[in-house]
Structure 1
Amino acid sequence: MRAESKLIFFPGNNTPNLVRAAVAIYWAAFSVFFVRIVFGVGVPPFRTPQEVVAAVTLFGLLSALLICYAFTIMRLSAGKIWARNVALFLTALLIITNLHHLFADGLSSEQNNIVGLISIAAETVAGLLLLTSKSTGWFKSKIH
């Protein structure tokens, strides 16, 4: 028996508003993350074959990361509890690592610019929205 999976980018109308808001915030954070990667990586100078291999490897890893991130948000939109848990884990990991960078490097660090801090704050709010009782109840009702 083959399971079919629909690509759901945004939750339906029967979804609690808190989950809909969290998904919208995660998509906005995904967009910011994508733009920061595109403009932050740039084009490295290819002087040796090792640099070409390193660039291709970095591109592959970043592409895989972005695909997994988008897939998790789509599954979150479909009401999958595992996607909620992954999103909450990644949000907590993001908060912890950025707090470490904030205290270790200060606000002047390239990672701690205003766009990054707003993105982290937004993802923190999205994570908290997924932890409300109404959101948790909706995810638990979607288990088959």
Structure 2
Amino acid sequence: MRAKTTFIFFPGNDTPNSVRAAVAVYWITFSVFFVRFVLQVGVPPFSNSKEAEAAITLFGLFLAVLIFYAFTITRLSDGKRWARYVALFSTALAITTTLYSLFAHGLSSEQNNVVGVISVAAETVAGLFLLTPESSAWFKSKIK
């Protein structure tokens, strides 16, 4: 038996507005995170091959995480409960690390830090949208 997988980047009209809004916010924060990453990395100077190997390995791992996050958002659009749990867990992790960073170092005036805090606040709202009763009912109805 072969399962057919389609990638749905944005949920259809039968989806509750709270889920549609959450998916839109997750795509926006994903895009902002990707742009921030590309702008921050640049081209690192490699003085030896070990530094180059470490940088390539780290970049590969980070790219794998980004691909999994995008995959999770597409599955969230399709109504997969596991994607909802992964999105809520990643949101909780982002909230926790951001709060720790704010309490440990404070909010500097750098634009990148402010954008990061705004992104986490937007993800928090998206996570709350996924916890509404209509969202929960929709995800339960998608079980096949």
Superposition TM-score tier, normalisation by shorter sequence: over 0.9
Aligned CA RMSD, in angstroms, stands at: 1.4
Q: Is the 8 A contact 1:75 1:83 kept in 2?
A: yes
C-alpha distance 111-91 of structure 1, shift in aligned 2 (>3 A)? farther
| Other-structure match for 1:95 | 95
Unmatched segments (≥5 aa) in structure 1: none
What is the Cα deviation at residue 110 of structure 1? 5.9
- The answer for unaligned runs of 5 or more in structure 2 is none
TM-aligned CA deviation for residue 111 of structure 1: 9.3
TM superposition shift of 1:90: 0.6
Structure-2-length-normalised TM-score: 0.96
- Distance apart, 1:39 and its partner CA: 0.7
Equivalent residues, number: 144
CA distance in 1, matches of 2:109, 2:99: 12
TM-score when normalising by structure 1: 0.96
Moved over 3 A (4+): 109-112
Closer/same/farther in 2, CA of residues 82 and 132 from structure 1, 3 Å limit: same
For 1:108 and 1:46, how far apart are their aligned partners in 2?
A: 29
% of aligned pairs identical?
70
Instruction: Give the deviation of 1:58 after TM superposition.
Output: 1.4
Tell me which amino acid in the other structure corresponds to 2:46. Answer: F
> How many Å apart are 1:51 and its aligned residue?
1.1
1:1-144 map, 5 Å: 1-108=1-108, 113-144=113-144
